Structures are given as C-alpha cells and as structure tokens.
Structure 1
Amino acid sequence: MGRRKSQAAAERNLEPIKISTDSIKKRPRRDSNEPPFKKFDDLEMFETYLKGESWDNDFDFLHARLDYYPPFIRNEIHDDPEKIKPTMNNKSKKFVRNLHHHVDKHLLKQINDMVGIEYKFKREEEKLPDGRLIWRYKDESDHGFEGLDRKWTVEVDVECSPNDPTVVVDMRSIPID
C-alpha cells in the first residue's frame, strides 16, 4: 500500500474532534490568501477531508467541492446510473423536497460533526434563469467562540440542475482578518 493510500486510510479512522476555545491554536502562517481547492465525488471522502482539516487546525481555511448523487437517488437507482429517470432533477417537487431534507437533516449535520464546530447556517435560495437551484448556507457568527481573535466565515452552496440528479456542494471556510 502506497504512502498516500495508507495516509487516506488513517484519516478515515480518525475520530471527529469537538473543537473548543481551548483547543483552537493560533492561526498558522499560510503562503496564500486563497485556500487550496479540493474536489470530491464521494460524500464519505468529503467528510474525511473535513475531519482531517479539523485535526490539522485548518478548519478556517478550506475550499472543497463535492459532486455526487444524493443518497436518496443512489438508493432509488441501486447505484446503477442507467436507472436514472428523467424526473430525477430539480424540476420535480419530490426531488427538491428530498434534497432539502437530506441537506438540512444530514449533510449540514455531518459537516458540523466532521469539523467539530456547531455552525448556525442561514439559508438563502436562488433560482437561476437556466433552471439551476442554489441554496446558499452561510455562517458569519463567532461560531460560539466569543472573544477569540481567530475569526472566519463559512459558506456552503448546494446546487442542483434541471438536467440530472447530480448535486454540487461547494464549501468555503475563509479567515477574516
């Protein structure tokens, strides 16, 4: 097993940490103002990445994108993309309702669990002229760490299209100086 694979296996076995005021260290020195961009097509690997960034004290400096079929779609098609129906997109009220439930009850909760911080996301909805639906979740609060000089904002965009059931999750955590 290569070094990269063994490192990924070790990260999957990490327990999520619960970040407290005492566990937050001084912001590390960074070479860039832009966080490194990571792209995933698997929800589990996305969660593992978030967990690893918390362990590395980089929970306030990340940009990750996840392109995936949500679990309710994967369950319905039995992991066979050939079984995708033309109604499995944001034109379907059932799809939007199930996606909303998945995001609010599972995805955002998992993000909080993996990062170890209880974000209080506020949602804005946007429907674009091309039919895409975007939910913007944002937390600009102090995340429960009053008086801490290390501040950051978190944005999670969830996007679905009228063409297919693929959901795009774009998460950015950016330090505020």
Structure 2
Amino acid sequence: MSPPTSPRLSNKSAQSVFDDFKAKYPNERNFMELLQDTFDHLNQNLDGTSSSLAKTQALHTTLSATPDATQAQTPTEFALEPGYPNPFNPSTTICYHLPEDAQVSIRIYNILGQEVRTLLQSRKEAGVHTIHWDGRNDSVQSVTSGTYLVRLVAEDFVGIQKLAFVK
C-alpha cells in the first residue's frame, strides 16, 4: 500500500487530540500531524506547506515552540487519551497528561479484568507523555485478538481507555 499524497487525520480520536492541541496552543506556528496509514510525521506549517520527517511509530503530541516561547505549557489536569491507532496491530501509542510530578502506573487488562501487561510503574515529571504497547503480555507473548483496557493511575486520578487488538 502506498502512502497517501496529502496529510490527513482520518481517525476520530487522533483528530480530537489534534484539535485539542490546536486550541490549547493557538500561538504555535507549526504543529505535528500524524498519518494514520503510514505513521509518517509531517511538519505542517500554517501556510499549508509541509516537509516529510523520518518514519516512526511514535505519536508526538508536543508542538514546536514559537521563537518567543520560553517553555512548554504544562497540562492543567490529568488525562488519558485514547490509544492510537485503535484498533491496532502490531502496536499502539498511549498518550497521557500529568499536571504535576506523579507516581504513574500504566497496566493493560483483558476484558475479564485480568492483568496482561505492566507498561509503566515509575515517577514521571509533569507534562505530556507517550508510551507504546506492542500487543504482548508480561511473558513477551503476543496477546489474542480482542478488547483490552489500558488503566492509568497517577495520584488520585484513574483513567481507563479501551483498545482493540486485531490480528
């Protein structure tokens, strides 16, 4: 399958994340767009021009700073964004927001509530973070197709999102 010729966001969750960042950072001159089918990142300028960046499977949710910006904005609340892509195969990226430094736990559960994988158990600084799940359990075996839950615990915040793994 050849990559699309123009930038697009066809995933509603990705579009939602993109719109949120665009609204939160109206003074930014550049922003990152993610192509759902190719995971190519494009440096999309407000004047409509774009230049291709290296192929990656990371979802970058940080925006490039304007020359007069001194520091990135810290999120104002805890949040767990939907995984992207979703459904996924072979991996998905999970984005989360921390308004303050916090002890963070991110775990994957099957639909029966059984823990499948611990992705993170550590202290993280305030900011927007991403983590990847490769569709494997703690024994490094590929999980079966189905619905999974990602659960983020940070301070008093608990966030849960559904993920669909397809083979």
**TM-score of the superposed pair, with normalisation by structure 2:** 0.26
Where is the strand percentage greater, Structure 1 or Structure 2?
2
* Structure with bigger gyration radius: 1
Greater percentage in helix: 1
Greater relative contact order (CA < 8 Å, ≥ 6 in sequence) = 1
User: TM-score, normalised on structure 1?
Assistant: 0.25
